[in-house]
A and B are shown apart, each in its own frame.
Chain A
Amino acid sequence: MSAFRLLIARDLRLAMRQGGDAAMVVAFFILTVVLFPFGVGPEPELLQRIAAGIIWVTALLAALLSLEKLFQTDYEDGSLEALSLLPLPLEFQVLAKCVAHWLVTGLPLTLVAPLLALLLHLDPAGYGALMLGMALGTPILSLLGAVGAALTLGARRGGVLLSLLVLPLYIPVLIFGVAAIEASIGGFGARPHLLILTALLVLASGLVPFAAAAALRQALE
């Protein structure tokens, strides 16, 4: 097995054994979305109007939850130092860890989203755009989060700092994710918005590994 896939497999195995992380993220996602009908009232028209926004904002916050541990445990037990001395460049290792992170958090969020959309009476025309948007958008959340997680490594109260750093960067994903749903409900077609999300994903996968690896090297020095 190549070193790249081996690292993904290790992170997945750690996530399985330690449990918690994926389940926690999904549980947070569901619970928070369920809170909204209690807060704003159960009128279907109102919920239908704000469903896309609620789901996307909550997904962003849920993705944030698991980011802090992305490099933290490897940093603390010395694994990160050993990883950085492997022949596989740190940039590829960052990418591998993002893939594993997405499989553990982003993918379950994407799969749960339509159920929550049902709960909020999302217009049936929006489901396709919701699923596709989540599938394209959640990997961007993992990638951008990796930069934040690498930069805040070793900082005190890194979790809060991480949120402040990463949330503003998530805004484009939120805008185009919600716009895709609104557009397809309005009959305009979600294609342009999904294409922009795709472009953002390509851009992030190309740039993030370099930025995060540089930050990790700084932390290890």
Chain B
Amino acid sequence: MIRRPMSDNPPSSPDFTGTGLACRRGERLVFAGLDFAVPASGALVLVGPNGSGKSSLLRVMAGLTPPEAGRLAWDGVALKEDPQAHRARLHFIGHSDALKPVLSAAEMLGFWAGMRGGGDVAAALARFGLSAAAPFPCRYLSAGQRRRLALARLVASPAPLWLLDEPTTGLDTEATAQLMAAIAAHRRDGGCVVLSTHAPLDLPGAASLSLADFRPRRGLAA
């Protein structure tokens, strides 16, 4: 692992690690014995066929699902010791966009940013090409626009760890480029990104983790 020599927020260079992780969904053991490490400014790309546990791993990383076994740590401190601090440092964008049909795009983003202590909503909307859509209720947005609005949460309020579950689904090439630019800027500032994807993405220096390698042998029985 290469640490960036200069970072904007030293002295604690964030370092997100997991060791010996296993995850159970219902009766099925999805993966076991999984280790990962994401250094400051690092990116980790999760790949694998459908059902191999990419989303499950991201949910475990976010603290939504407790792992069946293993340990997650940020800077060497186990997440279990301070789940609230972990929630404060992460952005998780899952499959659903978490938008209310009756609230406008600006209100929606303002709410999510405000819940994290506030941020520059107008700039975040502009960054994902949503300035013109800002006053419209979310029910009038297209699927791609809704996705952009969900992703705009990433830049509206800063957090060092981004967990993105197939973030490019439904995005056009322009929005994908905007997302890649946002990720690059985030990593320049010392942030970490973990994302799952099926499409090849332009992420320089990103590590790759294939979930298929951690499939337990008896896991498919149930």
Name A's B-contacting residues (CB within 8 A). Answer: 1, 3, 6-7, 10, 13-14, 17-18, 77-79, 81-89, 220-221
Say whether A77 contacts B115, CB under 8 Å: no
Chain A residues, Cβ within 8 Å of B97: 77-78
In the bound complex, CA of A121 to CA of B116 (Å): 52
Interface residue from B65, B87, B94, B112 paired with A87 (Cβ < 8 Å):
B87
Q: A6-B115, A87-B116 are in contact. Are A81 and B98 (CB under 8 A)?
A: yes
Chain B contact patch, size range: 20 to 34
Say whether A85 contacts B63, CB under 8 Å: yes
Say whether A7 contacts B115, CB under 8 Å: yes
Chain A residues, Cβ within 8 Å of B99: 77, 79
Say whether A221 contacts B94, CB under 8 Å: no
Q: A78-B94, A87-B84 are in contact. Are A18 and B102 (CB under 8 A)?
A: yes
Chain B residues, Cβ within 8 Å of A88: 115
Say whether A79 contacts B64, CB under 8 Å: no
Chain B residues, Cβ within 8 Å of A81: 64, 92, 94, 96, 98
User: Which residue of B has the minimal Cβ distance to A86?
Assistant: B115
Chain B residues, Cβ within 8 Å of A1: 114
Chain A residues, Cβ within 8 Å of B115: 3, 6-7, 83, 86-88
User: Which residue of B has the minimal Cβ distance to A221?
Assistant: B65
Q: Within 8 Å of chain A (Cβ to Cβ): is B95?
A: yes
Interface residue from A7, A17, A79, A220 paired with B98 (Cβ < 8 Å):
A79
Say whether B102 contacts A14, CB under 8 Å: yes
Min C-beta distance of B74 to chain A, whole Å: 15
In the bound complex, CA of A220 to CA of B63 (Å): 11
In the bound complex, CA of A14 to CA of B102 (Å): 7
In the bound complex, CA of A14 to CA of B88 (Å): 25
Q: What are 26 contact pairs spanning A and B, CB under 8 A?
A: A3-B115, A3-B116, A3-B117, A6-B111, A7-B115, A10-B103, A10-B111, A13-B107, A18-B102, A77-B97, A78-B96, A78-B98, A79-B98, A79-B100, A82-B94, A85-B62, A85-B63, A85-B64, A85-B90, A86-B87, A86-B115, A86-B116, A87-B116, A87-B117, A89-B84, A220-B64
Min C-beta distance of A17 to chain B, whole Å: 4
User: Which residue of B has the minimal Cβ distance to A10?
Assistant: B111
CB under 8 Å from chain A, chain B span 163-183: none
User: Which residue of A has the minimal Cβ distance to B113?
Assistant: A6
Chain B residues, Cβ within 8 Å of A84: 64
In the bound complex, CA of A157 to CA of B95 (Å): 25
Chain B residues, Cβ within 8 Å of A220: 64
Main secondary structure, interface of A, reads helix
In the bound complex, CA of A20 to CA of B186 (Å): 43
Interface residue from B84, B98, B103 paired with A82 (Cβ < 8 Å):
B98
In the bound complex, CA of A13 to CA of B103 (Å): 8
Min C-beta distance of A64 to chain B, whole Å: 24
A interface footprint on B88-129 (CB within 8 Å = 1, 0 otherwise): 101010111111101100010001101111000000000000
In the bound complex, CA of A79 to CA of B103 (Å): 13
User: What are the 8 tightest A-B residue pairs by CB atom distance, in nearest-first order?
Assistant: A78-B96, A17-B102, A87-B88, A78-B98, A82-B98, A79-B98, A6-B114, A3-B115
User: Which residue of B has the minimal Cβ distance to A80?
Assistant: B98
In the bound complex, CA of A81 to CA of B116 (Å): 15
Chain A residues, Cβ within 8 Å of B114: 1, 3, 6
| Extra A-B contacts (11), CB below 8 Å, given A78-B98, A88-B115 | A6-B111, A13-B103, A14-B103, A77-B100, A82-B112, A83-B115, A85-B62, A86-B115, A87-B87, A87-B88, A221-B65
Say whether A17 contacts B103, CB under 8 Å: yes
In the bound complex, CA of A87 to CA of B107 (Å): 20
In the bound complex, CA of A116 to CA of B205 (Å): 70
